[in-house]
């Protein structure tokens, strides 16, 4: 198969982790007879430095012309980087939001899975972890607070900021359907998360999810308030299969879920629209504090590449090969620093490796 992949290396640790994901993809290509061709796309701080804006129209066109886009991470240190002295619409993150919106990537899938080998890295007690957990956070990605009108103005001499949270029923319906479709392929349970005790947008969310649920009689579903969900994620994460939620809640809950899987460096994600196209990116950020040190964990990006093979190219066998290679490497005791056992825990059979070595080990086991 010929695949044209747009690559956004981005900022911070982005270029380091993307290099490893491409290494693993190339190995898959060699072994299974596919040709992955890459076109670099500038986005984020590196695009600001080169063009003055975080994402050019040309870059959007290149992304649209690709079969899928693989991304590292964008942005810098929000207190020290000069990028954050620019107007908000010129900052690195604005590029990512523009890309998501321009490509209509409304469905963000963030799997949070606890590897048997990483139980030690999970901050929860053993009795809570039990046999581990495996959930899929389905985050709506092109609506809500992220895309509502916002302004800062003086009202009667007082500086006042406003961000508007809007959802229409169609936006809710399409993500809800995706969530239930995915639940059908998993454990057939949907937890729809909202704040319906306070917000109108959440009350509409709940009503539309109930309508969609009628078409999926095999799927058990429940509603959960977002504050309770934040608590349940650390109290009993095993209860979740698919968590279906709006943009901002999904942003926050997915970081929380990633931490209970051990490290944000393990969490992949896929952002999809109504076609086979997708944007695949680790859920973590650009980690400017460790950029260039060769210690970043490339696994989330490598697993995002596996999601790309599965969802955009229907290469399930190849995606399995990457996921199994990751499991194998963890089983053999290789760890980047973020998933190393903590002080006081046994390091028997554990070898700490850097970014490049981790990529090599996974590629060798594909
Ligand atoms: C994420 C990130 C982004 C978001 C930022 C970088 C704009 O935190 O993908 O979760 O909030 O969506
Ligand atoms: Mg986030």
pLDDT at 13: 97
Pocket test of ligand 1: the residue of 72, 96, 109, 283 to mutate, having most ligand atoms within 8 Å of its CB, is: 96
- Residue 11 Cβ < 6 Å to ligand 1: no
CA of 361 to the centre of ligand 2 (A): 28
- What is the reported pTM? 0.95
The Cα 109–Cα 249 span in angstroms is 14
Residue matched to tokens 């999970």: 122
Annotated active-site residue 163? The verdict is: no
- C-beta of residue 94 within 8 angstroms of C-beta of residue 59: no
pLDDT at 307: 97
Annotated active-site residue 23? The verdict is: no
> What pLDDT, in 10s, does the model give residues 80-118?
999 999 999 999 999 999 999 999 999 999 999 999 888
pLDDT at 120: 81
Candidates 67, 194, 251, 338; catalytic one: 251
pLDDT at 37: 98
Give the residues of the chain that fall short of pLDDT 50. none
pLDDT at 64: 97
> What pLDDT, in 10s, does the model give residues 245-282?
999 999 999 989 988 887 778 889 999 999 999 999 99
DSSP for 101-159, written as a single string: HHTT--EEEEEEE--GGGGGG--S-HHHHTT--EEEEEEE-SSGGGTS-EEEEEETTEE
> What pLDDT, in 10s, does the model give residues 221-239?
999 999 999 999 999 999 9
Measure Cα distances from 256 to 231, 233, 242 in Å. Answer: 10, 8, 15
pLDDT at 122: 87
* Strand ranges inside the chain, DSSP E: 2-10, 35-40, 68-73, 107-113, 134-140, 150-155, 158-163, 189-194, 220-225, 242-245, 270-272, 278-280, 334-335, 351-352
Half-sphere exposure of 58 (CA within 13 A, CB side): 7
Pocket test of ligand 1: the residue of 44, 84, 251 to mutate, having most ligand atoms within 8 Å of its CB, is: 251
Annotated active-site residue 255? The verdict is: yes
């Amino acid at each position: 198969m010929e695949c044209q992949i747009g690559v956004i290396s981005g900022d911070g640790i982005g270029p380091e982790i993307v290099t490893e994901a491409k290494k693993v993809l190339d190995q898959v290509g060699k072994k299974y007879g596919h040709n992955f061709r890459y076109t670099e796309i500038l986005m984020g701080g590196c695009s600001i430095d080169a063009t003055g804006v975080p994402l050019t129209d040309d870059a959007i066109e290149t992304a649209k012309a690709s079969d899928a886009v693989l991304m590292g991470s964008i942005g810098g240190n929000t207190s020290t980087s000069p990028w954050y002295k620019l107007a908000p619409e010129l900052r690195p993150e604005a590029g990512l939001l523009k890309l998501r919106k321009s490509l209509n990537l409304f469905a963000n899938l963030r799997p949070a899975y606890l590897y048997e080998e990483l139980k030690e890295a999970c901050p929860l007690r053993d009795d809570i972890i039990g046999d581990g957990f495996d959930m899929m956070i389905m985050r709506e990605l092109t609506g809500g607070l992220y895309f509502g009108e916002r302004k800062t103005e003086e009202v009667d001499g007082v500086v006042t900021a406003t961000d508007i949270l809007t959802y229409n029923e169609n936006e809710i319906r399409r993500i809800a359907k995706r969530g239930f479709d995915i639940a059908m392929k998993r454990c057939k349970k949907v937890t729809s998360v909202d704040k319906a005790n306070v917000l109108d947008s959440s009350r509409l969310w709940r009503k539309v999810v109930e309508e969609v649920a009628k078409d999926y009689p095999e799927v058990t579903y429940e509603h959960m308030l977002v504050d309770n969900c934040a608590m349940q994620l650390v109290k009993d994460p095993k209860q979740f299969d698919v968590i279906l939620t709006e943009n901002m809640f999904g942003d926050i809950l997915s970081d929380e879920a990633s931490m209970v899987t051990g490290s944000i460096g393990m969490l992949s994600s896929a952002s999809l629209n109504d076609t086979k196209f997708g944007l695949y990116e680790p859920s973590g950020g650009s980690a400017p504090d460790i950029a260039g040190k060769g210690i970043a964990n490339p696994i989330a990006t490598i697993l995002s590449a596996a999601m790309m093979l599965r969802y955009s190219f229907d290469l399930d066998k190849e995606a399995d090969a990457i996921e199994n290679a990751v499991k194998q490497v963890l089983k053999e005791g290789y760890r980047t620093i973020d998933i190393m056992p903590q002080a006081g825990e046994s390091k028997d059979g554990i070898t700490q490796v850097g970014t490049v070595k981790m990529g090599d080990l996974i590629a060798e086991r594909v």
